[in-house]
């Protein structure tokens, strides 16, 4: 496969409600920002990929209604859908389209407007024969898994609260972020409303309106359009069986993310992720998930994730800053969230991350998490 890079990124302002724009206009806002960042015009784009969770907005065929907003008219347009990983999978599909030689310039855009539809309806329509009577959304799923993670002694509520504080404080330096809480404290997290034991309001991601886009280009084109392209060093995706009860001790085992990251690290020549990576943008729908992902991603030994966050290893000034953007805990337009992870990782390599820029970003990780059955891993670098 030939060299492929992300040469431009664009995001909307993410918020609880973006009543000022329609879905197509929201997508257009992200696409325009990415095109400007890549110094390209709409005519340069040869193909368009769209990521979205279709049931959430209550309109069929979302790719039809927003395709024009993404400058797709007259071009190949398709949607990629893998649950919460949709955004990272959309980016990976764009890497494949360019890497294969099919196209030289592809726009990948993810969006969600949770405020317009009914997210719970989408989440409630699980398997009609098995668990629809019981299913309690992402909240219920996570609470169950977290109960096992806590019972195994892998994290305390104070350590989880530190993750919440890190995310929302980081978000305060990200102009795109939805929840910006520069003064949030552990006590405030622990005092927030209990949603599903042991998950409190501030342990969970919000629902946001927002869109994010990346421009993916082939070798020579990439060098023309960005002085410091974010080269694709590795991608890996893994799927698992479909019922929550199929997976034992899910957060503790997390075989999708373990397998995907091991595969990606081999491709990218990473042997010690905390030493080798300069920054990570991981898809953490709740605080405890971020800690579990540290273990699955090999940032620490099993059971050590809480101490990692206590020691500040993953803070902005630590050895491996995790989610300088504020992560999913601060911004979650689901179909866009994975694209945001890749865009943020690329933006760090480009050296264009403003107040949230880490020093010497030469190797960056982005991950996606979909229901409990998908994991995506992307590694971007400053050298092809």
Q: Pick the closer one to other proteins by CB: 2 or 16.
A: 16
Q: Pick the closer one to other proteins by CB: 99 or 210.
A: 210
Neighbours of 91 (CB within 10 A): 35
The C-alpha angle with vertex 98 and arms to 371 and 338, in degrees rounded to 5, equals 25
Selected binder of other proteins within 194, 269, 311, 383 (CB under 8 A)? 194
Residue 24 interacting with other proteins (CB under 8 A): no
Residue 156 interacting with other proteins (CB under 8 A): no
Residue 16 interacting with other proteins (CB under 8 A): no
Selected binder of other proteins within 15, 70, 80, 189 (CB under 8 A)? 15
Whether residue 170 contacts residue 176, with contact meaning beta carbons closer than 8 Å, is answered with no
Residue 140 interacting with other proteins (CB under 8 A): yes
Residue 19 interacting with other proteins (CB under 8 A): yes
CA distances from 199 to 80, 142, 246 (A): 30, 8, 22
Q: Which two tokens stand for residue 231?
A: 């080269």
Q: Percentage helix, strand, coil, to 5, in the chain?
A: 40, 20, 40
Residue 153 interacting with other proteins (CB under 8 A): no
Q: Which two tokens stand for residue 336?
A: 């866009």
Closest to 150 in 3D by CA, of 267, 273, 305: 305
Q: For 73, how many CA atoms within 13 A lie in the half-sphere containing its CB? A: 6
Smallest gap, in angstroms, from Cβ of residue 135 to other proteins? 6
Selected binder of other proteins within 1, 2, 16, 20 (CB under 8 A)? 20
The C-alpha angle with vertex 234 and arms to 275 and 242, in degrees rounded to 5, equals 105
Selected binder of other proteins within 81, 136, 192, 298 (CB under 8 A)? 136
Smallest gap, in angstroms, from Cβ of residue 260 to other proteins? 17
Q: Which two tokens stand for residue 247?
A: 């997976």
Residue 177 interacting with other proteins (CB under 8 A): no
Site for other proteins in 106-135 (CB under 8 A): 120-121, 123-135
User: Looking at the DSSP assignment, which residues form a beta bridge with residue 74?
Assistant: none
Show Cβ contacts of residue 310 under 8 Å, excluding neighbours closer than 6 positions: 159, 162
Between 334-350 and 86-99, two packed helices, what is the crossing angle to 10 degrees? Answer: 50
Show Cβ contacts of residue 292 under 8 Å, excluding neighbours closer than 6 positions: 149, 154, 251, 252, 254, 305
Cα(253)–Cα(246) distance, integer angstroms: 12
Site for other proteins in 237-266 (CB under 8 A): 240-241, 243-246, 248
Q: Pick the closer one to other proteins by CB: 22 or 267.
A: 22
Residue 33 interacting with other proteins (CB under 8 A): no
Neighbours of 223 (CB within 10 A): 16
Selected binder of other proteins within 18, 28, 166, 238 (CB under 8 A)? 18
**Binding pattern for the stretch 49-68 against other proteins, x by CB under 8 A and - elsewhere:** ---------x----------
Smallest gap, in angstroms, from Cβ of residue 333 to other proteins? 14
Q: Pick the closer one to other proteins by CB: 42 or 135.
A: 135
Smallest gap, in angstroms, from Cβ of residue 75 to other proteins? 28
- What residue ranges bind other proteins (CB under 8 A)? 13, 15, 18-20, 58, 120-121, 123-137, 139-140, 143-148, 151, 193-199, 240-241, 243-246, 248
């Amino acid at each position: 496969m030939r060299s492929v890079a992300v040469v431009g990124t664009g995001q909307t302002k993410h918020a609880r409600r973006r009543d000022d724009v329609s879905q197509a206009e929201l997508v257009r806002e992200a696409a325009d920002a990415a095109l400007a960042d890549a110094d390209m015009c709409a005519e340069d784009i040869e193909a368009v990929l769209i990521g979205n969770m279709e049931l959430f907005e209550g309109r069929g065929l979302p790719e039809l209604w927003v395709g024009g907003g993404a400058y797709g008219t007259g071009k190949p347009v398709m949607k990629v859908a893998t649950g919460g990983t949709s955004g990272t999978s959309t980016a990976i599909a764009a890497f494949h389209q360019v890497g294969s030689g099919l196209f030289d310039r592809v726009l990948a855009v993810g969006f969600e407007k949770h405020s317009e539809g009914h997210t719970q309806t989408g989440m409630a329509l699980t398997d009609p024969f098995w668990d629809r009577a019981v299913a309690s959304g992402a909240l219920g799923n996570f609470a169950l898994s977290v109960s096992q993670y806590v019972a195994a002694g892998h994290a305390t509520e104070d350590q989880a609260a530190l993750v919440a504080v890190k995310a929302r404080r980081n978000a305060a330096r990200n102009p795109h972020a939805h929840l910006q809480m520069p003064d949030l404290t552990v006590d405030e997290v622990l005092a927030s409303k209990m949603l599903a034991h042991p998950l409190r309001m501030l342990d969970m991601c919000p629902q946001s309106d927002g869109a994010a886009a990346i421009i993916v280009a082939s070798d020579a084109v990439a060098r023309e359009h960005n002085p410091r392209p974010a080269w694709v060093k590795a991608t890996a995706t893994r799927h698992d069986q479909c019922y929550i009860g199929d997976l034992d001790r899910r957060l503790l085992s997390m075989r999708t993310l373990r397998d995907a990251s091991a595969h990606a690290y081999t491709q990218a020549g990473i042997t010690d992720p905390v030493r080798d990576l300069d920054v990570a943008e991981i898809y953490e729908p709740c605080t405890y998930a971020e800690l579990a992902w540290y273990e699955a991603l090999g940032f620490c030994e099993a059971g050590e994730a809480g101490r990692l966050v206590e020691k500040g290893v993953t803070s902005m000034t630590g050895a491996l800053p995790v989610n300088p953007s504020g992560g999913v805990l601060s911004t979650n337009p689901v179909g866009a969230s994975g694209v945001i992870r890749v865009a943020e990782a690329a933006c760090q390599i480009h050296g264009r991350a403003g107040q949230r820029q880490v020093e010497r970003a030469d190797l960056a990780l982005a991950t996606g998490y979909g229901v409990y059955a998908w994991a995506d891993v992307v590694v971007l670098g400053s050298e092809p």
